[in-house]
Amino acid sequence: MTSANGLASASIPPPRLIATDLDGTLLRDDKTVSARTIAALAAAEKAGIDVFFVTGRPARWMDVVRDHVHGHGLVICGNGAAVVDLHGDEGGHVFVKVLPLERIDALDVISLVRAAAPGTSFAVERTGGIHHEPGYPPLTFDPASSVAPAEKLLARHADAAGQPVLKLLAHHPELSPDDFLALARASVGDRASITRSSPTALLEISGPGVSKAGTLALCCAERGVAPAEVVAFGDMPNDVEMLSWAGTSYAMGNAHPLAVAAASGRTVANNEDGVAVVIEQILGAL
């Protein structure tokens, strides 16, 4: 077990792998990695502990941590929909593993969510970029590859039809984030995995059974790492399964109540370098 201040019990063996979310967890609110956190990550790797970034972000948003992915080069993106090697291409990235949301399932989900929450707008995140409906809030820092109704974006002969769908994003202008999440999950059932990481009513919809935890488990199994040898960090509902799966887990001081309930311990907030605090404690006990 772990204490409320982030201290690990002496009975817990040293971890072999650290898995950490990015936004609201490893990153400060200004989306930077602090010098203290950079040093802690490097020290963990030097001590033989692999560090995996496990995020809802797409691969193209990983520049902020690219320099801090060490020997293995791997990150888990899209809430588990992809494993990406950031060292796999000259200045770019390579998809190592993709767990897509199938086109038919995506269309079914859109129909069900529209019926349950009129006014919902959608975006389609593919391996090559994002495409969204005209009513979807524009991302000024990430322009859409195309803008059209979701059904057209998912048509068999759409321009990007050859690129796997990593996830749908669904936005509602009026519902509260948690109410929208509950409504969508009740409407869709097991046709897809639905979660959220944004403070707004923005849902992230992946293939059935796809989650950060599931893909992290695959990566750990490939390395012979057991759940008990993993320490995980997170702050939002999309981290819940990962925090429950890992042998030791920490919710940030700024975490959503669902993340707090799922974790075995608590550390300080992201702006106080809560991940680095725990890593320093782990390394200090070695």
pLDDT digit string, tens, across residues 176-230? 999 999 999 999 999 999 999 999 999 999 999 999 999 999 999 999 999 999 9
The total number of structural domains in the chain stands at 2
Q: From the CA atom positions of the chain, what is the Rg in Å?
A: 19
* Residue 1 confidence (pLDDT) above 50: no
Q: For the residues 41-66, what does the mean pLDDT come to? A: 90
Domain region containing 125? 103-206
Share of the chain above pLDDT 70, in %: 93
| Domain end call among 181, 206, 231 | 206
| Domain end call among 206, 226, 259 | 206
Q: For the residues 92-115, what does the mean pLDDT come to? A: 95
pTM score: 0.91
Q: What is the pLDDT of residue 86?
A: 86
Q: Answer yes or no: do 152 and 170 share one domain.
A: yes
Q: Answer yes or no: do 183 and 120 share one domain.
A: yes
Q: For the residues 137-159, what does the mean pLDDT come to? A: 85
Q: Answer yes or no: do 172 and 232 share one domain.
A: no
Q: Answer yes or no: do 187 and 249 share one domain.
A: no
> Confidence class of residue 10 from pLDDT cuts 50, 70 and 90?
very low
* Residue 5 confidence (pLDDT) above 60: no
Q: What is the pLDDT of residue 8?
A: 43
Average pLDDT, the chain: 91
